[in-house]
Amino acid sequence: MGLFKRLYDWIDLRIGAREIVKKELTGYLLPKNINEWYSLGSVLLVIFTLQVLTGMLLMVYYVPDSEKAFKSVTFIMNDLPYGWLIRLCHAVGSNMMVAVLLMHMLSTLMMKSYKSPRELNWVTGFILFTLVQGISLTGYLLPWSQLSFWATTVATNSAAAIPVAGPYLVEFLRGGKLVGPPTLGRFFAMHVAVIPVVIAATIGAHLFLLKRTGISTPPFGAQEETGHPWPAESYRYEEHPGGIPFFPNYALQDLTSISVYFAVFLAVVFYAPNLLFTPDAFVPANPFQTPAHIKPEWYFLANYQTLKIFPSELLGLSVQGAAMTFLALLPFIDRTPERNPLKRPLFLVFFLGGFLLWIGLTIWGHYS
């Protein structure tokens, strides 16, 4: 212990480490009524880190060539020591990321943390949501299985419904008229280089905004009234005097949530690895044979079913576009200061209705 203290003192003399610890850790006070949902952000950070690490490891052996991609993934799964573990962590992790992201978004919506002065936090969060969908879509193609190939064909085809520029946009996305080797090249570049960097930068912005504005107070069990409008006079950091220190108290909650996440995540990796794989995921891509019952991943099923419902693909896309735009601009549309959802029945109806609609469409999409 003496050595650690000496090292800490040495660093403290040079960068004022004790002051940083006091400001960012032990002296960083959170609202007394903070709940577990607030720890989902750190769970997402851990998931993203794991995705980057496992992704880098996969890149050592994966070959982004249409002739070799499927074989390289099979090699990783069957021949390489613990290759199956790395690959499954990456595949399962990507699904978990979307699931936890949706939970994070739903809890933010429910507790109205998107309201003033946190509009930018919501917007950066929404951008992250879109980027995660993009990285999932591009990553899906890389194993070059029948499932990868045809799910990408279906997904990129939907852009054709956009008037005028649609067909060209599809060709541009694919790098050709049909999904093929050029598609693999550009999707690989997007998946391993472009999108991760943009996600990292956007996370930086998201965290900066969070720290600069201050943590919101949950509207449940709050000491004071929850309906006060934010006085938009000048910038003010939202303090929580007498609150809970982030370290070690809420850091422990973060650690607990991360542990719970790992329990669920590793249970799937070790005990249900084929949960998210269909038989088509084990057959190399055949550009001349579309298998029956090709479906997108679970998080795109609602979009898929919506497109099936509307007679015109353009209408289906427009409805989804409108819904996403509404969600993205929510802090600018919903301006009432009241944050307690039990005092906002209209919001609650929309929230629950929207959530159930999404669940319903997803289940319908699975069985249709």
Partner 1 sequence: MENDGRRKFLGVCLAGATVAAAGAAAYPVFRYLAPRADALGSKKLEFASSELPEGEAKFFEYAGSSAVLVKTSAGAVIALSAVCTHLGCIVQWEKDKQDFLCPCHAGRYSPEGVVLSGPPPRPLAKIPCSVANGKITVG
Q: Which is nearer to partner 1, 60 or 348 (CB)?
A: 60
Torsion angle of C-alpha atoms 105, 109, 111, 112, degrees rounded to 10: 130
* CA 351 and chain centroid, separation: 20
Interface residues with partner 1 (CB under 8 A) are 57, 60, 80-83, 85-86
Distance CA 306, CA 272 (A): 29
Q: Based on CB atoms, which residue is closest to partner 1, 165 or 266?
A: 266
Residue at 275: amino acid letter:
L
Residue (248 or 287) nearer to partner 1, CB: 248
Least distance to partner 1, CB of residue 200, Å:
22
Question: Least distance in Å: CB of 52 to partner 1?
Answer: 14
CB 199 within 8 A of CB 132: yes
In angstroms, give the least distance from the CB of 332 to partner 1.
44
**Cβ count near 201 (within 10 Å):** 12
Between 3 and 346, CB nearer to partner 1: 3
Q: What's the Cα-to-Cα distance from 172 to each of 160, 187, 310, 313, rounded to whole Å?
A: 11, 12, 26, 19
Cβ at position 77, least distance to partner 1 in Å: 12
- Please, are residues 94 and 51 in contact by the beta-carbon 8 Å criterion? yes
- Taking the least distance from each CB to partner 1, the nearer of 77 and 198 is 77
* CB-nearer residue toward partner 1: 80 or 99: 80
Q: Which is nearer to partner 1, 86 or 97 (CB)?
A: 86
Q: How far is the CB of 83 from partner 1 (least distance, A)?
A: 6
Question: Cβ of residue 266: shortest distance to partner 1, in angstroms?
Answer: 11
3-class secondary-structure state, position 227: coil
Cβ neighbours of residue 149 under 8 Å, at least 6 residues apart? 141, 179, 285, 286, 287
DSSP secondary structure string for all residues of 200-214: HHHHHHHHHHHHHH-
Cα–Cα nearest to 130, from 327, 357, 265? 327
Kindly state the smallest distance separating residue 284's Cβ from partner 1, in Å: 23
Distance CA 138, CA 144 (A): 11
248 preceded by a cis bond (ω within 30 of 0): yes
Residue reference for tokens 């980057």: 52
User: With respect to partner 1, which residue has the nearer C-beta, 57 or 307?
Assistant: 57
Q: How far is the CB of 8 from partner 1 (least distance, A)?
A: 17
Are the C-beta atoms of residues 216 and 113 closer than 8 Å to each other?
A: yes
Closest to partner 1 by CB, 169 or 255: 255
CB of 43 to partner 1, least distance (A): 17
Taking the C-alpha atoms of residue 215 and residue 42, their distance in angstroms, rounded to an integer, is: 14
Report the distance separating Cα 253 and Cα 255, nearest Å: 5
Q: Which two tokens stand for residue 187?
A: 């999707």
